Every structure is written in C-alpha cells, then in structure tokens.
Structure 1
Amino acid sequence: MTERILITGANGFVGKALCKYFVAHGYRVRGVVRGKKRPLADVEYAPIHDLASVSRAEWTGLLDDVQVVIHCAALVHQMQGVADPDEYYRVNTAATATLAEAAADAGVSRFIFLSTAKVLGEFTRPGRPFRADDSANPQDDYARSKWLAEQALTESGIRTDMDVVIIRPPLIYGSGVGGNFELLMKLVEKGLPLPFGSVDNKRSLLAINNLVDVLGLCLRKSESLSGTYLVSDGNDVSTRDLVTAMAMSTGKSVRLFPCPVTVLRVIGACLGKKTVIDRLCGDLSVECAPIQRALDWHPRHSLQTVLAYKEP
C-alpha cells in the first residue's frame, strides 16, 4: 500500500508546497492544520485548535497508519517578538517532543523535523560557513526553542527505533513567501532606490523547490538518515546580488546606490532597525555537502528561476 505521510503546518508556506509535491507523487497525505482552509482536494486534512494543546493520545489517533512525519508547524521567528516568549517553548519545543513520543508509540519509521540554521547563530565569519556539527549558539527564544526541540528529538530517536532527521535551513524563499523577503521584494517592485550597492556579504538561501526535493529524497531513502543536516541552494549571494536578481525577475531596472556598511548600521541603530540592517549586511553561510552526499542530491533550482516563476 502507498505510504501515508503526516505533515504538520500543512497550510503554511512550506507545508502547502510539500502537500502538493507528495500528492502529485502518489502518496497519501494527512495534513495537520489550524483553521478550516482545505486548499488541496487530495489531502486528508486534520484540523486542530492549537499545536501545543494536542495531547499525546490525540496525536496517536492522528498517526494511525502513518509511516513518516514531516513536522513543519512552528511559531516562527518574529522581528518584534511575541507577547509571551514562553509561547516559543510551548509550541516549538514541548509540542514537538509530545508529537515525537506519540510517533514512536505509533510505529512511525521516520520523523523529519524542519529546524533552522539560526540554532548555530545569527552570523558566520567570512570563509567559514556553519557546519552541522558546530556547537549550538542560538541567540533568541525562537532559535533556542528549536534547539531544545532538536535535543528532545535526538533523545527520542536514541530511545526508539524511529529514524530522526533534523533539517536546518537558512532563509527559505519562493512563491508565496512572506516576512522580510516579501517586504524587500515589494520595495524592489516599486522601483525604489536602495542603499545596498556596497553590500558584498555572503548569505545562504534555500528555494522552496530545492527544500521540497530534499525532503522527498529524505522520505524515499531506505537506509537510516538519522542526524542533523544543513541545506541550501549551494550558491551564496550578497544582498546586492539578491536585489539585482529580484529586479530582473520583475522586469524592473536595478536601482542600487552605494552606501558604506558602517553608515547603514548607524542609520539602522538610529531607526530602531539594527537587527534588520545587521542581517542585510552580515554573512550567514551554511555548508550543505553532507546532505548532498547522503542523498546524492544537487540543487536543481536557482535563485533567478525561482524568483521569475509566477503561480498560475
């Protein structure tokens, strides 16, 4: 019988793309969602009120006849934070641990967890990308909650026969993305001149298409994959190059002017946007060779082709 997959966060940016992919490839997909939206006819949706309120017994029912779990749902990082930081730990850590325990009880063979490269820190040194075996250095509640979830999953995998695969992506982009990536794209589309002409940093990005390919291979791999992996498009880009690619994808003229990075940082601090400017100007690079070797995978989708794609 065709494998059944349980995908949490099935109505989110990543979850929706995964549902489309696995349905198209003939899998039976059970999508855990908040709310009543059911955008795909061939997905068996399982609505919940709140991820952290689902008990171990309730998860066991949702995991009936499920072979693989892909856990995407999370309280995502928010630039302004959340009213109660404990929410990160309730949703991202405790709920993940409960789901993992229920999955092991239900005989799930593989648990794939979408974590974040932020577990390792906010920035990398020039020429030294993050590696999966680097020491954790989370800088905020979101990253710390994900790191604690990783530890709980690893312990669960050690105690049981369940294969636990932890994926740490950098910024994920593609059609339907929100957040700061969408905001920058809108600024470019408006044709506004932007002060990033002198920003020559190195940042790893991950196209949603490449992430879906990786998770598809993770699911189909017959040998054990237990471990932690970083994944990216394989080609780091500067903020200057990213803005240029965005402009080209929309048919707009590239409108960049040079401004020293030190000046940008001062302006950002004065405007209360220090963190935003630091990310636009700093390096965050990841090494993805281990997952390429493990899956015999090479990124098929480039920044330019993904940005240029328009959903029908």
Structure 2
Amino acid sequence: MSKKILVTGATGFLGNALVQHICNLPDTSVVAPLRNIDCILPSGIEKRYITDIDHTTDWRASLIGVDTVIHTAARVHVMHEPSRHSIHKFRAVNVEGTLRLANQAAEAGVKRFIFISSIKVNGEATKLGHPFFADDMPLPLDAYGVSKYEAEQKLLELSEAGLMEVVIIRPVLIYGPGVGANFQQMMRWLTKGMPLPFGAVTNQRSLVFLDNVVDLVITCIDHPRAANQIFLVSDGEDVSTTQLMERLVAYLGTKTWLMPISTKILTFLARFLGCGAVAQRLFGSLQVDIRKNQELLGWSPPVRLEDGLKSTAAHFLESRKQ
C-alpha cells in the first residue's frame, strides 16, 4: 500500500536530508510545501506553493491524500534577539503556524503528525552526569524554547482528543555534512592553525548526527509505539568541548594547539565581554538520555559519533576546495 508524506522545511538542513531518504523508501511519495517552488529537490517530489507560515496559511491543497506530516519548518533561534521583543514572532510561526497545519491535517484525515521540536524545551543546561529525559518537566528559558513547548502542548491536546496521532522529537545540536552556524564556524577556526584556549574543558555535551535524526524520524512514521510519545535524540555518546575539538582537529588534519586554560578564567572573560551565552555552550554541560527510544521503539543511533564527525569534517574540507 502506497504512502504519501508531507515534509515542511524541505530545503532546510534536516528537511532536505529527510526528503532525500524518504524518496528512497518503497511505495512512498513526498509532497513539499514551499515558498520557492523553483528550488532544487530530488526528482519525484510533489512541490506545492505556500505563503509564510502563520495562523492564516492554507495547507489544504498540500494535504490531499497525505498519510503522515513531518513538520520541520520553524522560526529558529535567533542569536542576540531579546526574548521580550521576539516571543510574538516565534509564536506566530512555531505555535500558531504549527497549530494551523495540525488542524488542517486532522481535517484532511492525516493519521500521524511528527513534530520536530528542540531540546530547549527541556532547558538550556544539565548538571554533569544528570541528563535530561524525555518525560522530564519542561523548563524552556528563551522565546524559541517557549514557542516550541507551547506548540507541543497544543499538539498533545489534539492527540488526547483522538483527532490525530502525534510524535514529538527533541534533537540536541544536529551536525553533519553541510552543517552551518556555530559548528561550521568552529571547524573554520580549527583549520586556521592558531592556538585556541579550549584544552581544559571538562563538560559533557550530547550531539546528534544528521543521519541519526533522519533514521529516528523514519522509524516514527509507522512504529505503533511511537504514537503520542516524546523522544529525545542524540548519538548516545557525550563529549567535552575539548574532546570534540581534539577529534575534529584530527579529522581535519590541522595542527591547532588547544591550550589548557582554566574554564573559570575563560567564563569570567566571556561574561565580562557580554558573551555569557557563548560561554554556556562552550563550557556548560547538556546531556540527554535516549534509553526510551531503545526500550519503546528498539531504536539505537545507527551512526557512531566518531563516524559522524569524520563525515562532517571530510565534507567541510571538500567544500573548501570548490
């Protein structure tokens, strides 16, 4: 029996990887609602034009015949934007836009709605050795995290009413070939060959390789025990900032020296310069426990952290040659 899957955000880092994998599934077709239908996607994908995502977006034409919705599109976290000024912008897209899609999906007879949320719903940091669990009490602290949490609550209300099955997935930092933002910037600095003061960081952070997120999402399309559940996702192996940089230095083939400077000194300097949030990401811990995925779904990350980092570094080096 054929299956039709709608994927929002199909041109994004995660969404694009998802549609490429789903296109290879047997008897499965993909519809991608897009603001720019001239963008390049794998052949065979049904493109549908939509306007900006908010409470007025009309998804009905895109939802015809769809069995499953995978909602990756969102207004993402914007650095240095005050939450008090931006919360309404996040809510317009991440809450009202999501609810509009979910309601129209339920009306169209969609059976399952997979929502890509964020670990920021759980919080910003963990104590060393005390990871977040999927069923912990949420504690979002910024506008992005709050909007994702509010969207989750609205979706769970739909599932509790029996209107549609809902699956919520909260990834940690996603990396992989083509990654941008801070991870790409870190690799750029590591290839400059200049000393960096990150050789004595003893925190622990969970990361997740792009293909591991994709694999969990695809597992959740049909798995009966995924219905109305929340899952965290990581590579299942945590590393300190120092360990992460040491591995990347090796895979990038650079000579960068990581100087063992006290994180207390670095944190003080970062806060003095108004970069406290950066210090938290570099020196604080954020760990997640994914045993629920194995116990409920029989799912474990198919790609090891080591292999994911090697693949990411290799792609970065290759892209610099072009």
Number of the residue aligned with 1:243: 245
Could you say which residue in structure 2 is the equivalent of 1:30? 31
Q: In the TM superposition, what are the counterparts of 1:148-297 in structure 2 within 5 Å?
A: 148-223=150-225, 225-297=227-299
CA apart distance, 1:93: 0.7
Residues 182-235 of structure 1 show CA distances to partners (whole Å, capped at 9, x for unaligned) of 111111122232211110111011110101111111113144521111111000
Matched-pair contact (CA < 8 Å) for 2:118–2:172: yes
Q: Is the 8 A contact 1:248 1:254 kept in 2?
A: no
Partner of 1:75: 75
**CA distances 1:138-189 after superposition (whole Å, capped 9, x unpaired):** 1100000000000000001111241100001110110111111111111112
Give the letter for the 2:301 counterpart.
P
Structure 2 CA distance, aligned partners of 1:159 and 1:191? 57
What's 1:107 paired with?
109
Distance 1:18 1:118, change over 3 A: same
Number of paired residues? 310
Structure 1 CA distance for aligned equivalents of residues 114 and 194 of structure 2: 41
Which digits, 9 at most, give the CA deviation of each residue in 1:75-127, with x for residues without a partner? 11121227743110100011111111111111111100000111111000122
Q: Name the structure 1 match of 2:11.
A: 11
**Cα distance between partner residues in 2 of 1:53 and 1:37:** 25
Identify unmatched segments of 5+ residues in structure 2: none
TM-score (norm 1): 0.95
CA distance in 2, matches of 1:274, 1:61: 46
Residue of structure 2 equivalent to 1:65: 65
Give SS of 2:285's match.
Answer: coil
Q: Which amino acid aligns with 1:28?
A: S
SS in 2 for 1:85: helix
SS in structure 2 opposite 1:24?
coil
- Structure 1 residues 75-84 or 17-26, which shifts more? 75-84
Give me the TM-score of the superposition, normalised by structure 2: 0.92
Query: Where in structure 1 are there 5+ consecutive unaligned residues?
Result: none
Alpha-carbon shift at residue 284 of structure 1 (Å): 0.3
Kindly indicate whether the alpha-carbon contact (under 8 Å) linking 1:206 and 1:232 is maintained by their aligned counterparts in 2: yes
Whole-Å Cα distance in 2 between the matches of residues 202 and 215 of structure 1? 25
Q: Show structure 1 runs of 4+ deviating over 6 A.
A: none
Contact 1:74 1:92 in 2 (8 A): yes
Q: Report sequence identity in percent.
A: 40
Give distance in 2, aligned partners of 1:193 and 1:42.
Answer: 48
SS of residue paired to 1:196: coil
- With 216-225 and 195-204 compared, the bigger mean Cα shift is at 216-225
Tell me, yes or no, if the aligned pair for 2:175 and 2:210 is still in contact at 8 Å: yes
Distance 1:301 1:245 in 2: 16
> For residue 226 of structure 1, what is the amino acid of its counterpart?
N
Matches for 1:45-64 after TM superposition, within 5 Å: 45-52=47-54, 54-55=56-57, 58-64=58-64
Paired residue for 2:133? 131
